[in-house]
Structure 1
Amino acid sequence: MPTLKDWVEAARPRTLPLALASIGMGAFLAASVEQFRWEVLVLTVLTTIFLQVLSNFANDYGDSIHGADSNDREGPQRAVQSGAISPAAMRRAMSLFALLSFVSGVTLLLISIQWNIQVLVVFLGLGLLAIAAAITYTSGKKPYGYAGLGDISVLIFFGLVGVLGSFYLHTAFFDPLTILPALSCGLLSVAVLNVNNIRDIKTDALAGKKSIPVRLGRSRAVIYHWLLLSVGITCSVVFVLLSYNTAYQWIFLLSVPLLIKNGIAVQTKKQAVELDPYLKQLALSTLIYVLTFGIGHLL
């Protein structure tokens, strides 16, 4: 019988700051044009948490079923792999959080968009895609994470959809310039996934999980990591240059040393146990980047 601790560990709370970063960015951008809505923020936070927990449960289940979370895995042990939670119980939990995500998302749309049918259909479709992406990353007959497509999915949902979607739900309009901070969030989120995949490169290769690091090899995956970090920050620099008002907008540069520290760690630390803490470090650094970016645009 799984304990509450088992479920909390399977939910992976340390991934939540990264999930909340993109909707936080959207909310800050909306506030900078005086269109912020508290009820939208609360519901986007709730929906995002449900989706992230769903994704983590599905990842735990799928990797255990497909062999990536074997006894040879060097990262933290997973709930289904260890036997703490049975596959059947995890499937039920996945169904529950898929339902919670859907109900919360529909409530969000009805409050923010109301009965604008065309926009409602678009966002409902995006929401269903997000639920499907969370489940099929490592679950199902052909999980796209095993084909190395996880990076693209993260860029889309943790970047473009998360930031642009939440900005629209606050403001009811689309600003093309916000694509740049959306890309920043997305690329830094992909970098977090890349740290995870570099850590698990050996066991993923054995399980047939063709992540980007498995395809590139470790040395090229490190170069890819530096590109993700540098291009992510460059997008924000370009955004500030194009929308410059005050020097406060550059406050986000205070987060750059944290990103550099992560890049150095990924490059130099070869053991999984040494690299694992830098998953949390980069997720928190991304959240700090969003907070400093947002505060700088409100001052």
Structure 2
Amino acid sequence: MSSTSKKSASSRGRSGNPAKKPIAQNAPTTFGDWVGAARLRTLPLAIAPVVIGTGAAKLATFEFHWVIALACLAVAVLLQIGVNYANDYSDGIRGTDDFRVGPARLTGAGKAKPRTVLIVSLTFFALAALAGLAIVIRTQQWWLLAVGAVCIVAAWFYTGGKRPYGYAGLGELFVFVFFGLVATLGTTWVQALMLPQEAWFGAVAAGFLACAVLLANNLRDIDQDRLAGKRTLTVRIGKRATQILFTVLIALAMLIAVFLALFYPIAWLALMSLLASGPAIVIVWMYRKPGELVIALALVSLSALIYAGALFWAFWGVPAAA
């Protein structure tokens, strides 16, 4: 690539103004295009912390608040879909998706108008906010309104705004905080109004697995992100360190399961998630084409759901006094 091309790519990577990069719309958008842009393979990462948090709440109170649990699930899933559409919009107007090797996005590929993608994203954020408001009204925990607002702001500025933190190598940190700690502990708190140590262990494990998925995604796009000026953690530390970190995060999640299994024997079943995350580790170390890493991130997402289900089962049958 010439120096002129590199400079152009870098400038597009820094720009968040749609006017900087006109996007021509191609063929009419299909329902399948919108479903693909929702990135359903990432939804297990939204579901897993709610499952773990609900199990921990049941352990603490010996009660199952199923309405609140479903509301928490709605918040998590709607927010995740909103984030995915927001990333589609922001990366598309910046020109970052011009260099991607994964599935084509709505905005970057010209399949939908940027404004339409933005409206859809904001709609899902609004629906998540309404579900969150219902939880606040039901539990009378009004301070959670601030937490919800921070979640939406963090979701937007991952790739949005003039200085998106996802472009500065901070994506994994925020994913750990929001997909791990906030989602899991928040789910437990609104159902139990307490945070048992099991919820903390589960939250950390969920955060590790979510970070592993992001690492696989960014490893796939490492060369393209470098060209687009997107300085993800993977771009900063390089391929080999990313592979090591990916493996360590999954291993740490499994060690947490082993520790919990000493007190809750069914938690041993969480190791069954290695049936999915194990092959993902092999792919991350042995892949020949970046596109193969799409399978790896899907497998880790699946493993997070298996892991969460095992912990939920482990916590479910234990009385609060145990």
Do Structure 1 and Structure 2 share a fold, with TM-score over 0.5? yes
The answer (yes or no) to whether the contact 1:75–1:276 under 8 Å persists in 2 is yes
Whether the 8 Å CA contact 1:36–1:171 is kept in 2: the answer is no
Establish whether residue 81 from structure 1 lines up as the match of residue 102 from structure 2: no
* Residue 270 of structure 1: how far off its partner (Å): 3.2
Counterpart among 87, 92, 100 of residue 64 in structure 1: 92
- TM-fit CA distance, 1:79: 0.6
Unaligned runs of 5+ in 1: none
Q: Which moved more, 1:158-167 or 1:96-105?
A: 96-105
- Taking a change above 3 Å as real, the CA distance of residues 259 and 171 of structure 1, as seen in their structure-2 partners, is same
2:272 is matched with 254
Deviates more, 1:79-88 or 1:95-104: 95-104
Please show how residues 199-214 of structure 1 align to structure 2 within 5 Å: 199-214=220-235
1:266 correspondence with 2:262: no
2:50 is aligned with 1:23: yes
Of 210, 217, 222, 1:189 maps to 210
Residue 31 of structure 2 corresponds to residue 4 of structure 1: yes
Distance apart, 1:177 and its partner CA:
4.2
Mapping of residues 11-160 of structure 1, within 5 Å: 11-33=38-60, 34-70=62-98, 72-111=99-138, 113-114=139-140, 119-121=141-143, 123-160=144-181
- For the residue of structure 2 that corresponds to 1:81, the secondary structure is coil
**Contact 2:45/2:301 (<8 A) preserved:** yes
C-alpha distance after superposition, 1:22-64 (max 9, x if no partner):
1111011222331320101111111112101110011111111
CA distance in 1, matches of 2:105, 2:257: 36
Taking the aligned partners of 1:238 and 1:25, their CA distance within structure 2 comes to 16
The answer to whether the aligner puts 1:287 opposite 2:302 as a matched pair is no
Per the TM alignment, residue 68 of structure 1 is displaced from its structure 2 partner at its CA by: 1.9
Larger deviation, residues 39-48 vs 93-102: 93-102
8 Å contact 2:78–2:128 — kept in the other structure?
A: yes
The answer on 1:276 being equivalent to 2:294 is: yes
Contact 1:6–1:85 at 8 Å: present in 2 too?
A: no
Question: TM-score normalised to the size of structure 1?
Answer: 0.92
The answer for the alignment partner of 1:216 in structure 2 is 237
The 8 Å contact of residues 50 and 100 in structure 1, kept in 2 or not, is answered as yes
Question: Partners of 2:100 and 2:118 in 1: how far apart?
Answer: 22
2:87 maps to a residue whose letter is: N
Measured in 1, the distance between the counterparts of 2:306 and 2:128 equals 26
Q: TM-score, normalised by structure 2?
A: 0.86
Alignment RMSD, CA only?
1.5
Could you say if the C-alpha distance between residues 273 and 249 of structure 1 is closer, same or farther in structure 2, counting changes exceeding 3 Å? closer
> What is the alpha-carbon distance in structure 2 between the residues aligned to residue 182 and residue 102 of structure 1?
22
For 1:65, the aligned partner's letter is I
Aligned residue in 1 for 2:18: none
CA distance in 2, matches of 1:273, 1:97: 28
| SS of the residue 1:74 aligns to | coil
Correspondence 1:298 to 2:316:
yes
Change (3 A) 1:254 1:6: closer
Is this contact kept in 2: 1:58–1:136, CA < 8 A? no
- The alpha-carbon deviation at position 99 of structure 1 amounts to 1.6
Distance 1:94 1:249 in 2: 37
The Cα offsets for residues 188-237 of structure 1, whole Å up to 9 and x where unpaired, read as 01000000000010101111111111111111110111111111222232
Which stretch shows the higher mean deviation, 260-269 or 182-191? 260-269
Task: Tell me, in whole angstroms, the C-alpha distance in 2 between the residues paired with 1:95 and 1:260.
Answer: 36
Computing the radius of gyration over CA atoms, which structure comes out larger, 1 or 2? 2
Partner of 2:256: 235
CA contact (8 A) 1:164 1:174 kept: yes
| Number of residue-to-residue matches in the alignment | 289
The answer to whether the Cα contact below 8 Å between 2:205 and 2:252 also exists between their aligned partners in 1 is: yes
Q: Which position in structure 1 is the counterpart of 2:5?
A: none
